[in-house]
Chain A
Amino acid sequence: MLSRVAEALFWIGRYVERSEDTARLLDVLFHQILEDPAMDEIAGCRVVSAVMGIEETAASSTWLMEHLGYDRHNHSSIVGSLCSARQHARSVREALSAEIWECLNTAYHELPARVEAARGFGPSPFFSYVRQRAAMIAGLAQSTMSRDDAYDFLILGRNLERVDMTARLLSARIYAPSPYEEWITTLRACSAQEAYQRTYQRSVEGQSVLEFLLLDRLFPRSVIHALIVAEDALARLDPASGRTGSADEARLALGRARTDLEFLPAEDLFDGLPARLQRLQATVSEASDAIGRRFFAEAAALDWSLEESRS
C-alpha cells in the first residue's frame, strides 16, 4: 500500500487511542478529586500535566480540562487528537471502510456540542462519549476491514499508543499526592476492575494492580498484551524477516521491552518503577521513529528542480 496512506492509518490508530486514554486518565483524576477528601486538586493536576509533558504549570482542574480535554490545537488533548485522527482519515478515506469514516466524522461534528455540555454539566458524560466512540471505531475496524496491511498499521498505531499511555497513566498514579492508595479508580480507568477481580479474587492493592496492568498477558489493555499485539502486527507487515533474528529496529525495541517485562519477578516490580515506565515511553517513541524510517520514508520530495531565470 501507499506509504502515505500507511502513515495516515498508523496515526489514526494512535490518535484515536490517545483521545480515549487521555479521557481515561482525566477521568481517574476527576474521580480522585471528587471522591477523595484528602486529595490536593492542584498537586494532582500538576502530576497529570507533568506525565503528559505539558510545560506550563496546571493552575486548576478547569485549566487542565481546557488544555488536555478541549483544546483543538493541542495534539495531545482529547478533542485535538480526535480532530487529527479525522483529518488523517479524510485524506485516506478510500483506505478506511465507510463505516469507520462516518463514525469518526460524526464524532468530529458532535464534539463542539459535547464540549459545551461538558463545560456546563461536568466532564463525565464527555469522557464516556469519547470512550464509546473509540470502542465503536475499534469494533468497526474489527468487523469491516480486511486483514491486510491497512488493518495492521491501524492496530500497530493503536497498540503502541496504548503502551505509551498506560505507562503514563501508571506514572500519574504512583505520583498521585493522595494519602489513600485508591487503586480501584486506576483499574476502572482501564476498564480492568472486573477482570482484575476475577483474576486475583482478593481486595485491590497496588502491587497486584501494577502486576495486572503491566504483566497480564490476557488482558487487552495491559502493557505486555499491547506490546505482543504490536509485535505481531509488525511481523505480519514484514514477512521477509523469517528464520534468524530480525533486523527491524522497531521489532527489536518492542521485543526488548517485552522480554524485559516478561522475565521480571513480580516482587521486583516496584523497584525503579518510575524509570521503567519512562523507559516504556522511550521504547514507544524509538519504535515509532523506526517504523517511520522503515515504512513511511517520506517521498524524497519531487526530484524536479525549478530553475527560475532572474533578469
Chain B
Amino acid sequence: MGGLLDSYRSTAYDEMMAPDGWPHEHTRALYDALQLLSITDLEERCAARDRSFRNQGVTFSRAGEEWLFPLDLIPRLLPAAEWAVIEAGVIQRVRALEAFLADIYGPGAVLADGVMPYSVVATCANYYRQVTDLEPTNGVRIHLAGIDLVRDETGTMRVLEDNLRVPSGISFVVENRHTMARVFPGLFLEQHVRPVAGHLGWLLEALRAAAPAGVDEPTVVLLTPGVYNPAYFEHAFLARKMGIELVEGRDLFCRGNVLYMRTTGGSQRVDVVYRRVDDDFLDPVLFRPDSVVGCPGLVNAARAGNVGIANAVGNGVADDKLVYSYVPALIEYYLGEQPVLPNVPTYRLAEPDVLADCLPRLDRLVLKPVGGSGGYGLVIGPEASAAQLDTARAAVLANPREWIAQEVVTLSTTPSLEGDRLAPRHVDLRPFATNDGEQIRVLPGGLTRVALRAGSLIVNSSQGGGSKDTWVLTTAPQRLPEHTRQMVEPPPAVASRLPDQGPRGDQVGQQQQGGTAC
C-alpha cells in the first residue's frame, strides 16, 4: 500500500515538498508521519473533529445558518529561521502603520513632505475627519493587527494586505491547535511546536493598557454586533477566554462623555471597548445615524479621554489598498529602514499613465476594490470571462481611485485532504500582532487559510475557504524561565493513607458470613 503523498505533485511553490520531489528539511518528520497514515484513519479523525466542533459550537454564520469552521487536518509548517523573518517584518510594518496613523490624524507631515499625495487620503472612504486630533489613551491605534502574507512562485513571503480595523480569526488559531492536539496527537511527536494559547493574554494586556489615565483596574468589554454576526463565535470565545464582558450596543450608553453599561446592579463604568463593530456603525452621532449596534456618544467619550477604543476609529485609512502601495515608502520615511517583507507588485490605477498601461492587460492582473475586505469584489484576470472583464474595465474607468491592480501571485500550496487523497491547495498566512504601547508581539504562526477548491486562489472563509493549524517549529523546546524552573522537583508524596474499612469491619463481616458452619 502506498503512502498518501505518493502521487502528490504541485505546480506552485509547495510548503511541504521541495522541487526535487522530496520534503523540505523541516517537513520531513511530518512527511514520514503522513506516509504511514491510511485514508480510513484520516477519515475517522475528520469525524472526531466534526463532532468536537459541532458540540462546542465552533462555527461561523453564513446566510443565517451556522457552519462548522472547516479545519483541514494537515498542518502547515514554518521553520524557526523563516519565522524570525516574518516576525520582524510584521513588527516593522505595524510600527510604520502606527506612525502613519498618528501622523495622518495629526500633523500630516507625510503629506507635507510629499511622500504621499494628499488626494490619496482625501479620497479614501475609510478616512474619518471626525477623529482628527483624537489622541488615543496610550498612543496606540492598532491594538490587534492581522497582516496577510502569501508566498509567491519563488518562495518569497510577500505582504498581500494589512487588516487594522477588526481583524478576525485569532479564535480559530487557538481552537484549531486545541482540536489538533485532541484528534491528532500522534503528529505532534518528534516536533517542537511553539504554543499559541498565551497570545490571548497579550491581547488582554494590550486592551488593559488602553485604559484612561488613572484607572488601575480597568473594565474592558468586547462590543459585538450580536449573535447573528458571522464572527459571533469569535467574539464570545475571546470574551470568555479573556474574562471580559461581551456587550451589545443596547447594553451601553453614554452620559456626560462617560461610557456605562447597564447591569443588574445599575450602571457600571466602562474603560476600554474592544469593538468588533465597524467604524460606520460604531457611533450613530458621528457616523451612520441608523445604526442600532453601536453606542451614541462613544467617540466623544473617547475624545474626552474617558474611554479607550480598540482598534481606534479611522484605522481603515491605513489598510486601504491604495495606501498599501505606499507602505514600503512609509517604512522608509518613518523608520528609516528597508522593508523586511516586500509587497506584491501593485499598480495605482488612479495615476493616468499607470491606468493606460494596465487596461490592455487586465486579463493577466488581479483587480481589487481599495476599501474591500473578505475577498469580495475581487477580479482575477486569468480566470475571469470576457464579460466579467468588460464589467470590471467599466467600473475601473468610472472610478479609478476605487481600484488597484496587482500581478497575479500563484499562492504556494500545501497538502490538504481532498476526497480520499492529499492534494495541493493554495494557502496564505495571517499572523496576528498585539501592541500594548510598550511592545509589539506576534502570535507564533497565525491563521493559515486554504482554498479548498482545486486551483482556487481565494482563501476567505466567507468564500469557501478553510483553515489549517500553523506550526512554528523550534529546534529545541524553549527553556522555562528561571523562577518557574525551581518547581520542577515535586514535593515528596504524603505517605501511607489508611485503606478505607469497606462496608463492614473484619469481625462483623466474618460473623455475617459465618453462622454455624458444620
Q: Assuming A2-B251, A94-B236, A94-B240, is B262 touching A102 (CB within 8 A)?
A: no
Q: Assuming A98-B56, A302-B292, A304-B285, is B262 touching A237 (CB within 8 A)?
A: no
Cα of A101 to Cα of B58 in the assembled complex, Å = 11
Contacting residue for A6 out of B264, B292, B296, CB 8 A: B264
Whether B247 pairs with A306 at a CB distance below 8 angstroms is no
Contacting residue for B250 out of A102, A149, A302, CB 8 A: A302
Cα of A91 to Cα of B262 in the assembled complex, Å = 17
Contacting residue for B227 out of A90, A98, A101, A297, CB 8 A: A90
Question: Would you call the interface of chain A mostly helix, strand, loop, or mixed?
Answer: helix
Cα of A299 to Cα of B248 in the assembled complex, Å = 11
Contacts of A304 in B (CB 8 A): 284-285, 289, 296
Whether B253 pairs with A93 at a CB distance below 8 angstroms is no
Cα of A4 to Cα of B248 in the assembled complex, Å = 9
Contacts of A92 in B (CB 8 A): 246
Closest to B283 in A: A304
Q: Assuming A2-B263, A6-B264, A306-B289, is B250 touching A101 (CB within 8 A)?
A: no
Q: Does B55 sit within 8 A of A, measured CB to CB?
A: yes
User: By the criterion of a CB under 8 Å from any partner CB, how many residues of chain A are at the interface?
Assistant: 30
Cα of A306 to Cα of B236 in the assembled complex, Å = 30
Closest to B52 in A: A102
Contacts of B265 in A (CB 8 A): 1
Cα of A92 to Cα of B236 in the assembled complex, Å = 8
Contacting residue for A105 out of B57, B247, B253, CB 8 A: B57
Give 1 or 0 for each of B165-203: 1 = CB within 8 Å of chain A CB: 000000000000000000000000000000000000000
Q: How large is the interface on B (under 10, 10 to 19, 20 to 34, 35 or more residues)?
A: 20 to 34
Whether B264 pairs with A295 at a CB distance below 8 angstroms is yes
Q: Name the interface residues of B212-243: CB closer than 8 Å to any CB of A.
A: 226-227, 232, 236-237, 239-240
Q: Does A207 sit within 8 A of B, measured CB to CB?
A: no
Q: Name the interface residues of B259-309: CB closer than 8 Å to any CB of A.
A: 261-265, 284-285, 289-290, 292, 296
Whether B290 pairs with A306 at a CB distance below 8 angstroms is yes
Q: Does B54 sit within 8 A of A, measured CB to CB?
A: yes
Q: Does B245 sit within 8 A of A, measured CB to CB?
A: yes
Whether B55 pairs with A4 at a CB distance below 8 angstroms is no
Q: Assuming A93-B236, A237-B264, A295-B264, is B56 touching A4 (CB within 8 A)?
A: no
Cα of A295 to Cα of B265 in the assembled complex, Å = 8
Q: Does A303 sit within 8 A of B, measured CB to CB?
A: yes
Whether A3 pairs with B240 at a CB distance below 8 angstroms is no
Q: Does A301 sit within 8 A of B, measured CB to CB?
A: yes
Whether A3 pairs with B56 at a CB distance below 8 angstroms is no
Q: Does B249 sit within 8 A of A, measured CB to CB?
A: yes
- CB A259 to nearest CB in B, in angstroms, measures 27
Q: Does A109 sit within 8 A of B, measured CB to CB?
A: yes
- Using CB atoms and an 8 Å cutoff, list the residues of chain B in contact with chain A: 54-57, 226-227, 232, 236-237, 239-240, 244-251, 253, 261-265, 284-285, 289-290, 292, 296
Top-10 shortest CB links A-B: A94-B239, A93-B236, A304-B296, A94-B240, A106-B55, A299-B250, A94-B246, A91-B227, A295-B264, A105-B57
List 18 additional contacts besides A101-B56, A105-B55; criterion CB under 8 Å: A1-B264, A2-B264, A3-B263, A4-B248, A4-B262, A94-B244, A94-B246, A95-B246, A98-B240, A102-B55, A102-B57, A106-B54, A149-B264, A237-B264, A296-B264, A302-B249, A302-B250, A304-B285
Sample (9) of A-B pairs whose CB atoms are under 8 Å apart: A2-B264, A3-B263, A90-B57, A92-B246, A95-B246, A297-B262, A302-B284, A303-B296, A306-B284
